[in-house]
Chains A and B, each alone.
Chain A
Amino acid sequence: EVQLLESGGSLAQPGGSLRLSCTASGFTFSNYAMIWVRQAPGKGLEWVSVMTARVSGGNAYYADSVKGRFTISRDDSKNTLYLQMNSLRAEDTAVYYCARRPNYHHSSGYYYDYLDYWGQGTLVTVSS
């Protein structure tokens, strides 16, 4: 059974740092791209960051709202995805979800990505 378990969320001060973890089980973690998505209280979903599988280059992509402040990484030996969050702002307050991002090879040759398994989320609150 595929499981994703986020941890590390807590109360942080503006300008502070936190590191979120997402521990995976039930699948070969190293074969998959992984993603962070967040949801501010009462708001919609917002994409934060993606890291591709190492076999696909291990590339990282970021939303403009977090670029330069957040760093995504992965430790395939520990089946764990990380999000290092620095220079935190009040607007970073949200539930942070990790999700698995497989792709589907269509007959056209195009690869479609999607988010098939999600963790339960971890709450980050930035406040003084």
Chain B
Amino acid sequence: AVQMTQSPSSLSASVGDRVTITCRASQGINNDIGWYQQRPGKAPKLLIYAAFTLQTGVPSRFSGSGSGTDFTLTISSLQPEDFATYYCLQDYSYPLTFGGGTKVEIK
């Protein structure tokens, strides 16, 4: 099974900060990774798929990058509504595996 190691597990940031979250796959996944945002008590929401592709309707301050086994979600200028937990998901092979999550909190 592909293991997805996500870091950091939590971070504190201020509105306007640039935030970077990383997922490392235990093997190559052909850029088959998505990023999801989950606010408390809500269902996850798709932000990025195929490593780089921004889902329709998602603000352009979100971006995805990486290749091989290392992938990054970047929020260029953190907004109040971005305080949430973020997960990566590899969709390359079964079993599908999520990263452990990154909780973004207000500093």
Contact = CB atoms under 8 A, between A and B. Distances in A.
Interface residues of B, number: 25
Interface size class of A (residues with CB under 8 A): 20 to 34
A32 B102 CA distance: 29
- Tell me the interface secondary structure of chain A in the complex: strand
Counting chain B CB atoms within 10 Å of each CB, the highest count among A37, A45, A104, A121 belongs to: A45
A32 to B, nearest CB: 14
Contact of A113 (B32, B38, B99, B101): B32
Contact of A46 (B91, B94, B98): B98
A61 B45 CA distance: 23
Nearest to A4: B43
B67 interface: no
A114 B101 contact: no
Given A112-B53, A114-B46, A118-B45, 6 more contacts: A44-B98, A47-B97, A50-B96, A106-B50, A112-B49, A112-B50
Interface of A: 35, 37, 44-47, 50, 61, 63-64, 97, 99, 104, 106, 110, 112-116, 118-121
